[in-house]
Amino acid sequence: MSNKKYIIGNWKNHPDSLAEAEGILDSISEYLDSRRNFIHSLVVCPPFVFLEEIDKIFQSSSLGKKAQLGAQDIALSDSGAWTGEVSGHMLKRLGVRYVIVGHSERRWKLGETDDVVNKKIKTALANEFAPIVCVGERERYESYKDFLKQQLADTFAGLSDNEKGKCLVAYEPVWAISSNPGAKADTPESALESIAIIKEALGNVPVLYGGSVNSSNVESFISQDQIAGVLVGGASVNKEEFVKILSLV
């Protein structure tokens, strides 16, 4: 594939140990060392507890020249007392370059509102991170396009065109997330309809697809000119599967 795309691995709360995390990175590094023409932007987003050690691996190996480090979330603000949160200042010291904001699991399972996501985007931008802003409807009902338009308006409220342009947007229809029972990926044709709405609302921002991405369907999404990459969830911690995904882009 000649066009540069974003391949973002969201490890969620996996794996269970640093040794397993290192095993995933070893497989990725071995594959990338064997493929000289890999032009895509690879971002690895591990759990907070592994960020420091993975940053050290990136700094001391060739992997650091081929992949960048992302975090799965960020605190609402860098000031104030926020028990259990991790500030942008902390993440910056750990070599983080990207931050996932508003993932559907945080929106729908943990109750994050559009306003909370909006504040987190602003905090991420203040720390010079590239926010990976997740949006998408919970169910595919008749008026889902209206829902998506309102979600975009509220999530990006108060942001300038320049600030919006520093974001990546990941369209992840919640019903397609692999952790949900019976979930299956959206079709490229359907996803493109939603991506058109996103671009109409935000301008020419890079829009990725997320939702049950795996080696069986990644080519069908990433071959679309309007899809700037993929946000890979569960498949990104299966080292054989993730390397296969990388081999197909």
What is the pLDDT, as a whole number, of residue 180?
55
Domains of the chain: 6-247 (3.20.20.70)
What's the confidence (pLDDT) of residue 174? 80
**For residue 143, what pLDDT is reported?**
83
What 3 state SS string does the chain have?
A: CCCCCEEEEECCCCCCCHHHHHHHHHHHHHHHHHCCCCCCEEEEECCHHHHHHHHHHHHHCHHHHCEEEEECCCCCCCCCCCCCCCCHHHHHHCCEEEEEECCHHHHHHCCCCHHHHHHHHHHHHHCCCEEEEEECCCCCCCCHHHHHHHHHHHHCCCCCHHHHCCCEEEECCHHHCCCCCCCCCCCHHHHHHHHHHHHHHHCCCCEEEECCCCCCCHHHHHCCCCCCEEEECHHHHCHHHHHHHHHCC
Asked if residue 140 lies in contact with residue 172, where contact means CB atoms within 8 angstroms, the answer is no
Please list the pLDDT of the chain residue by residue as tens digits (249 residues): 558 999 999 999 999 999 999 999 999 999 999 988 889 999 999 999 999 999 999 999 999 999 999 999 999 999 888 899 999 999 999 999 999 999 999 999 999 999 999 999 999 999 999 999 999 998 777 788 999 999 999 999 999 999 999 999 999 988 776 655 555 667 899 899 999 999 999 998 999 999 889 999 999 999 999 999 999 999 999 999 999 999 999
Query: What is the rounded distance in angstroms from the CA atom of residue 24 to the CA atom of residue 122?
Result: 32
* Per-residue model confidence (pLDDT) at position 11: 98
pLDDT at 184: 66
User: What is the reported pLDDT for 36?
Assistant: 82
Catalytic residue annotation: 103, 172
Determine the pLDDT at residue 43. Answer: 98
What per-residue confidence (pLDDT) applies to 79?
A: 86
pTM metric for this prediction: 0.94
